[in-house]
Every structure is written in structure tokens, then in C-alpha cells.
Homo-oligomer: A and B are copies of this chain.
Amino acid sequence: MNLDHLNHSTKDAFVAALGDIFEHSPWIAEAAFAKRPFASLAALHAAMLGAVHDASVERQIDLIKAHPDLAGKAARAGALTADSTTEQGSAGLDRLSEAAFAAFHRLNDAYRGRFGFPFVICARRHGKESILRQFEQRLGNDHEEEVEAALVEIADITALRLDQRVEAPERLAVHGRLSTHVLDTQAGQPAAGVAIELYELDGDAARLVTRAVTNADGRTDRPLIAGRPVPIARYELRFQVAAYFAGRGVELADPPFLDVVPLRFAVAEPEGHYHVPLLVTPWSYSTYRGS
């Protein structure tokens, strides 16, 4: 589906295409239809947000209520919309321990008890730890602040949904990026063939996000994360340094002083560019946030 097509479609087709961008709330697509044509995805999204803005507070709260609990009964029963399923899964909420489920359950209850609607957050911008921190911080808001906060999250959620759904010359969402490269400062050249793993940390546990191997330029062929927000979370990059140097014929201590080098860092800006390189010899290394 592309923007041009939407600009020329009937109302029924338009609402059929975009009615679920806002969770269970096709009235927003209906209202936006009147503002056609849209010069850009951003204009389309603005029109939809305008409909929300112009609605009564009651209707805004109904919009919030249309969202499911995080890691709630509907999620466990497999009764979420496709988008919500993907979004909650991106933050790892589909594979919680029982203890973590219980923690979400308690927070969901406390939140609903306080505000009368479910906790809404743009899950694709967060890791699990970050969602829990947000949950606790927002429990301290008053009612009006929290309605505002939920609508901001809905704007983020729907921007990402629209961006994935509709082709357009310019993307709507500003995406983040996480990348690395490895420089062999012993040889003064890019380190090619270094195996790399990226983990997202959660307490003491580590969930593998992706694997890659450096190319002739010491970089990975694709960024480790790109084309989506980089979830606010703690990460660990692990570089197979001893295997690389051994492969080059460098004599190493036994066991080698450096073997798997871990770089542990956190992302605070999901739309930021995080370049986390490794400069390494068999006896030293350094890293920094580059761009």
C-alpha cells in the first residue's frame, strides 16, 4: 500500500487500510479521511493525531482504554491484535518468567486502580527493564499528566505502525541505529572476520539480539540494529578477539590475555545513532560512543 493509492481511495477502502493504526479505534481514520490528499506520511499522521486532539477527553480516554495490558491476560491468551503482539514481543514481554509476569500483573492492577485505564507505552522503544522503570515513574503522575503521557505514547506507537504499513517517498519515523567496527591497532588495519554477538541485558540474564562477522573493512555488512528504534536498554557486545588474532598467526599467551571482549553499555535515545567500536591489540583495547 502506498500513500498515493490512499490519497485516491474511497472512504471504505481508506478506513479498511488504516482503521487499526490506532488500536481498535477506526473513527480516527474516518476523521482523517476528510483531510485528503496528504503530501506526506507526516501529514497523514498529523491529521490522525489532530482527530485525537479534537476529540473530547472521554473519547481520548476511550482510545487509551482500547489498548491491552502489557503482558496481561489478553496477551497470555493470544488475544492481542497482530500489531500489539509484535510490539509486546519486541520488548520481550512474550517470554517473561513467572516472577516477571507477577510483577507486571501487580503494576497493571496498581495502575488501573489509580487511573482507570491500562498502561500504554510504545514498547518498541524500550527493553523490559526500561518499561518497568517507566511504569513506576508514571504511577507518580496525576490523572491529567498521565492522559497526556499515554497520548504521547500512542503518537509514537502509531507513527511506527504507519511507517511500516504505508510506502511513501519519505519515512515518517526517525529510526535509531546501533553499529560497531573493529580496528586491529597491532596491525594498523581493520580487523576482518571477527565474530560478534549483541546481547540485550535483563538483570543478570542476556538475550541474544543478533550475530555478525566483520567484513574486510572491520565493519558489519549491516548495522546491528537499524530501521527501527533501538530499545532503551542495557546491551553487551562480545567480540571473539583471541580467535581473530590466532587466525592471523599472532602468538598469544595461554590462556590469551584477551579472549572474548565484552563491551557493556546502555542506550537512552532510541532514535539516536550509537556507534560502539573496538580498537584492540592482544594486550589492550578501547571503546567509545562514536556516531
- B284, A279: Cβ atoms closer than 8 Å: yes
Which of A's residues lie within 8 Å of B, judged by CB? 130, 183, 185-190, 217-218, 232, 234, 253-262, 264-266, 268-269, 279, 281-291
With A188-B289, A264-B260 as known contacts, state yes or no: A255 contacts B234, CB within 8 Å.
yes
> Most chain-B Cβ atoms within 10 A of its Cβ — which of A183, A256, A262, A284?
A284
CA distance A279 to B284 in the complex (A): 10
Closest to A232 in B: B255
* Among candidates B218, B232, B259, residue contacting A234 with C-beta atoms closer than 8 Å: B259
- B188, A284: Cβ atoms closer than 8 Å: yes
* Among candidates B183, B234, B268, residue contacting A288 with C-beta atoms closer than 8 Å: B183
Given contacts A187-B283, A189-B289, A284-B287, 8 further A-B pairs with CB under 8 A are: A183-B291, A189-B291, A234-B259, A253-B268, A254-B268, A259-B266, A261-B264, A262-B264
A288 CB contacts on chain B under 8 angstroms: 183, 185, 188, 279, 283-285
* Among candidates B258, B266, B289, residue contacting A284 with C-beta atoms closer than 8 Å: B289
* Among candidates B218, B262, B264, B289, residue contacting A283 with C-beta atoms closer than 8 Å: B289
A258 CB contacts on chain B under 8 angstroms: 264-266
Closest to A185 in B: B284
A188 CB contacts on chain B under 8 angstroms: 257, 281-284, 288-289
CA distance A6 to B261 in the complex (A): 50
- B285, A287: Cβ atoms closer than 8 Å: yes
A187 CB contacts on chain B under 8 angstroms: 283
- B291, A190: Cβ atoms closer than 8 Å: yes
CA distance A186 to B262 in the complex (A): 20
CA distance A283 to B260 in the complex (A): 21
